[in-house]
Copies of this chain bind each other. A is one copy, B any other.
Amino acid sequence: MTHYKYRLMAPGPTPVPEKVLIKMAEPIIHHRTAAFEAIVAEVKENLKWLYQTKDDVLVFAASGTGAMEGCITNLLSKNDKALVVDGGKFGERWWKICKAYGIAHDVIKVEWGKAVDPRLIEEKLKSADYRAVYIQASETSTGVYHPVKEIAAIVKKYPNTALVVDAITALGVVNLPTDEWGLDCVVSGSQKALMLPPGLAFTSVSKKAWGLIEKSDIPKFYFDFKREKKAIDENTTAYTPAVSLIIGLNEVLRSMKAMGLEGIFKKHEQIARACREGLKGMGLKLYAPEAPSNAVTAVYSPEGMEAGKIVKGLRDQFNMTIAGGQDQAKGKIFRIGHLGHYDPMDIVSVLSAVEITLLKNGHKLELGKGVGAALQVLAS
């Protein structure tokens, strides 16, 4: 029986703040009521604030993948072609959905741990007629942040091509001004920086995207954006909403507004930097040193040490959940999530556990050195 408290430090699901848990524990109310509609109305406005958009943000009772699927089935038509950037497990998901629906698509394969070069997207767009470009902002499997702003500037030049951004681990972490950059659909989920249990998916929809949606002939029902827009315009949802999650979301968005966007981005930047510096201070090599995501840090295990040992050590001795690598990165890297309800002391805790675990597995280091490097970031 461990005497360490449980600490969830994976890149989602992430811890839910106590006051949100308490709010969600209140007795359930019916969704076809004025009381619930008032909550939806407030959530709708605050989501627009978070998304930095004047356009629509749709809410689904689903995982983020549901909204990803919707961005394919709603924006595209049977004869359209999609351009997909695949630099990890979540990049893969875009073309897997295309494949499931028999939609033509080209894939820009990106080396894991690297960000996509926007010029590759530009070349592709010049070479063929793509109805939409599908990318990740933060690729959770590799800890990479892709250059969304630069990509958006390119796609903007094509009036019949939409840019769809999977921002599931980026919205509420880094600055992604939907309208200013011209992001047509930005997908997110509840269990990341929104600090809620899993179960809600979101997507913004720009005017350009609505234009494509009007023409779409791909079959869809649950993830029908037009139907949901009609509903949310009337402060409701087309199908039964996840009532307690929406109530929790209202609470979360109020807290986020109180902190302000700048405060939120600064906090994530600080704790992500502390995490990276701490790991480097232990002599470890980052997996994505050139384009690190502020949501999740992926780091190589020391030469000759299976990364699973670190994940297991943190689990068994320290009652802490972090993530290992997936597919080609399996055994080589481990990943620490720091998006949402985390503070610098959570980082100090996970770094402390990593230090001891590395030492116990034979990695030479001076205890406190990694944490010290993180404290330098916090002190400055």
Contacts and interface: CB of A to CB of B under 8 A. Distances in A.
A52 interface: no
Contact of A367 (B5, B258, B372): B372
Q: Which 8 A-B pairs have the closest CB atoms?
A: A368-B372, A345-B349, A367-B375, A368-B368, A3-B267, A367-B372, A356-B379, A371-B371
A348 B352 contact: yes
A370 B375 CA distance: 11
Interface of A: 1, 3-5, 7, 18, 25, 258-259, 263, 267, 270, 281, 318, 343-346, 348-349, 352-353, 355-356, 359-360, 366-373, 375-376, 378-379
A370 B367 CA distance: 10
Contacts of A258: 1
A144 B16 CA distance: 38
B356 A366 contact: no
Nearest to A370: B368
Contact of A259 (B3, B4, B343, B344): B3
A373 B379 contact: no
A343 B263 contact: no
A176 B313 CA distance: 34
Given A4-B343, A345-B4, A345-B349, A367 B356 contact: no
A220 to B, nearest CB: 40
